[in-house]
Amino acid sequence: MRRVLGVAAFTLLSALTLVARGAVEATSRNVSQAGLEPLAEPRPDMPKVALGRRLFFETRLSGDGTLSCASCHSLDHGGAEPRVTSLGIGGVAGPINSPTVLNSSLNFAQFWDGRAADLREQARGPVTNPIEMGTSFDRVVATLTADASYAADFSAQYADGITEANIVDAIAVYEAALITPGRFDDFLRGDQTALSADERAGYELFIGLGCASCHRGRNLGGTMYQRLGVVREYFGRNLGRLVTEADNGRFNVTHNESDRHRFKVPTLRNIELTAPYFHDGSKATLGEAVLAMGSYQLGRDFDTEQVRLVVAFLGALTGRLPTFARMPDKVSLTPEHK
């Protein structure tokens, strides 16, 4: 009797092992097909990160002293903003929705139209843009130089002290450190319990429906440009508003007609936190965004259950904000001011 039970137990164990192995292999195939890789915990140069963090939250980088980088890239809103389009100096409404700054160092270019090659170029642009922060770097350098704590902090990190190049470099170093690994990265490393059953089902749909053809790589996006409206026209008569210059996307940079309405594919990491969605902020909820992407990009009309499961998976892409991301109570980096 014990021998029979032993054989049965062994058979059951073997079957469970094969099922588990099959699940791991299926996951591995999906990961390979999507070109996905898990994120690693950031290990940044902390003194320079701390200086960049201070600058990121510094309102004196704007012409009227009211705006900082964090005004449009809120850490409480997934590194994006809870508005349709950005508000610049004097409350002027900008033309486009600010993308998240979290994990932005993983993008192959910056801004929706890719006009900045890296984070340094990206950090430089808004400061002098007349409808964003509306100032000049000469003025910013003079203002920060007059602050003894900034002078000391820059001298500790840069031999030539406070310069335009060093300001944007420090901001870029801070932004590059805003990497947010989470449960999905644990899943990619083989932990099948990291996602719920609905999240795993949503992930399978995400792969099977074709979403990963554009949202791929470590950042689940940020690796290519794609036309908004691949299968069905987005900027047609049903848009509900006039087409703007911002809607031209990559065309504004290259002036090639083939680039009209092409945008950098955004990251999906932390996406549940960053509503509203798309470059025009036109979709208020993640469910609406999923439906729209299915229609315009894939030519598919997702049903309610498909939307629910894909949204569940997207929720699993919310990661952990580094502990050093937020400003501490003390702003100076020098020992006497800590």
* Residue ranges of domains in the chain, CATH in brackets: 46-179 (1.10.760.10), 183-315 (1.10.760.10)
Q: Give the pLDDT score at 30.
A: 52
Q: Work out the pLDDT band at 21, boundaries 50, 70, 90.
A: very low
- Percentage of residues of the chain with pLDDT beyond 70: 87
Q: Mean pLDDT, the chain, as a whole number?
A: 90
Residue 199's alpha-carbon distances to 177, 243, 260, 306, 314, in angstroms, are 27, 36, 35, 11, 8
The pLDDT assigned to 42 comes to: 85
User: Over the stretch 119-168, which tens digit does the pLDDT of each residue have?
Assistant: 999 999 999 999 999 999 999 999 999 999 999 999 999 999 999 999 99
For 32-36, 85-89, 221-225, which range has the lowest pLDDT when averaged over its residues?
Answer: 32-36
* pLDDT for 25 beyond 50: no
Percent of the chain scoring above 90 in pLDDT? 83
Between the alpha carbon of residue 285 and those of residues 190, 273, 282, 322, the distances in Å are 31, 10, 9, 26
Strand partners, 74: 80
Whether the model pTM is above 0.85:
yes
The pLDDT of residue 52 is 98
Catalytic residue among 41, 58, 121, 132: 132
- Let me know if 175 is a catalytic residue: no
Least confident of 20-29, 280-289, 306-315: 20-29
- The pLDDT of 44-67, averaged and rounded, is 97
H helices of the chain, in order, are 2-34, 46-56, 69-72, 119-128, 137-145, 148-157, 164-176, 183-188, 197-208, 251-254, 286-298, 304-315
Sorting pLDDT into bands at 50, 70 and 90, what band is 237?
confident
